[in-house]
Amino acid sequence: MKNVPACVLALLIAISGHWAAAQPFPSRPLRILVPSPAGSSPDIRARQIGAKLAEAFGQPVIVENRPGANGLIAAREAAKAAPDGHTLFLALINNAIGDALKPDPCCRLNQELLPVSRFTMTPLIMVVNPSLQVSSLKEFISLAKNRANSITYASAGPGSIGQLVGEWVKSEAGIQALEVPYKGVNAEIPDLLGGQVMVSYIVPQVVMTPLKAGKLRALAVMGPARLEMFPEVPTSAEAGLPGVEALAWNGIFVPAGTPRAAINTLHRELVKAYNAPEVKSQVLATGSEVAADTPEEFAAFVRAETAKWAKVIRDAGIKPD
């Protein structure tokens, strides 16, 4: 276009920009980046809302799994994507913990990645192998004080929520316990059932069957309220550790620079998807609840979570791997 007069070229660029801005959103398929493998709980959640978004927008919604590095691989790819609303990132609590433990300037929540709406909240539960012969958190603490460093608890390794909760309970209860790190979330379940590891802090749906069969025992719900599926299990506050709460959560983020109009459109349809009867009933059946908050509320929640876990990390002296 070297022979086009400058004034004409400027006009063409302006018209092109106006045309692009006038295009409806979304104008092509969307994708949701998930930092966990296919078949995992976050993957299932992403596919639930992806199907709803596809119906609402009349565009395909593709779920792409990018597990690894405690959520950082997926976050990095999402942050590098075009900020046009067509790439979504299903962030997990691990991403907030990572920002507290070892923030990477490539893809921090609330900075390089902007919140749209939180999806689910799931309190962890403290479970023990019945061979430990305790039926309450107070009994567990008493036993641990008398058997220093002979109690073992499972984690998914450095920086995992299992490690952080395990260290938090130790600090608040004044006990000693040995961490047994595993290579992935929920990888400890066979050893927990077999008694090779004694304690785990875990989402309820993955141990629902062994708990109801008496193969594991729940001592506390690490959340603000009891669970409908286990109404007899007290909260951590009721059991003697007020303030010790751990919620697994997830929610949708987009790259910084995404137009507010696109964020508003995504928020509107995500909230509808979250609250669709078949989605919400399945969420409730697994011991979780739907948050469906605004971008501003989600941003404030993430700030509070990052600050909370940063304090736990400092107090426990946990170092990045």
Coil, helix or strand for 67?
A: coil
Asked if residues 231 and 218 have their Cβ atoms less than 8 Å apart, the reply is no
| Structure confidence at residue 6 (pLDDT) | 57
pTM of the model as a whole: 0.85
Coil, helix or strand for 2?
A: coil
Q: What does the alpha-carbon distance between residue 174 and residue 176 come to, in Å, rounded to a whole number?
A: 7
CATH number at residue 166: 3.40.190.10
Neighbours of 210 (CB within 10 A): 16
Residue 124 CA, chain-centre distance (Å), reads 12
Nearest Cα neighbor of 286 from 68, 119, 116, 96 is 119
Query: In terms of domains, do 256 and 185 share one?
Result: no
Rounded average pLDDT over 258-269: 97
Residue 131 in any domain: the answer is yes
Chain segment 222-242, per-residue pLDDT in tens: 999 999 999 999 999 999 999
| Structure confidence at residue 20 (pLDDT) | 43
Of the residues 204, 239, 274, the one at which a domain ends: 239
Neighbours of 107 (CB within 10 A): 27
% of the chain beyond a pLDDT of 90: 77
Q: What does the alpha-carbon distance between residue 165 and residue 186 come to, in Å, rounded to a whole number?
A: 15
Name the residue range of residue 62's domain: 28-122+248-316
DSSP string, 231-278: TTSPBHHHHT-TT---EEEEEEEEETT--HHHHHHHHHHHHHHHT-HH
Q: What does the alpha-carbon distance between residue 192 and residue 125 come to, in Å, rounded to a whole number?
A: 14
How high does pLDDT run on average in the chain?
90
Angle formed at CA 187 by CA 183 and CA 192, multiple of 5 degrees = 125
DSSP string, 69-116: GGGHHHHHHHHHS-SSSSEEEEEEHHHHHHHHHS--TTS-BTTTEEEE
Of the residues 239, 274, 299, the one at which a domain ends: 239
- Is pLDDT above 90 for 196? yes
- Is pLDDT above 60 for 164? yes
% of the chain beyond a pLDDT of 70: 93
Tokens matching residue 248? 């697994």
Look at 149 and 171; give whichever has higher pLDDT.
Answer: 171
The domain tally of the chain equals 2
Query: In terms of domains, do 118 and 131 share one?
Result: no
Chain segment 50-89, per-residue pLDDT in tens: 999 999 999 999 999 998 888 889 999 999 999 999 999 9
Chain segment 94-125, per-residue pLDDT in tens: 899 999 998 999 999 999 999 999 999 999 99
Residue 184 in any domain: the answer is yes
Coil, helix or strand for 59?
A: coil
Query: In terms of domains, do 270 and 310 share one?
Result: yes
Chain segment 4-22, per-residue pLDDT in tens: 555 555 554 544 444 444 5
Nearest Cα neighbor of 279 from 162, 120, 84, 160 is 120
Rounded average pLDDT over 139-165: 90
Q: What does the alpha-carbon distance between residue 287 and residue 9 come to, in Å, rounded to a whole number?
A: 59
Of the residues 239, 267, 282, the one at which a domain ends: 239
At position 151, the amino acid (one-letter code) is I
Asked if residues 32 and 90 have their Cβ atoms less than 8 Å apart, the reply is yes
- Is pLDDT above 90 for 245? yes
Angle formed at CA 105 by CA 32 and CA 85, multiple of 5 degrees = 30
Query: In terms of domains, do 171 and 109 share one?
Result: no
3-state helix, strand, coil in the chain (%, to 5): 45, 20, 35
| Structure confidence at residue 1 (pLDDT) | 47
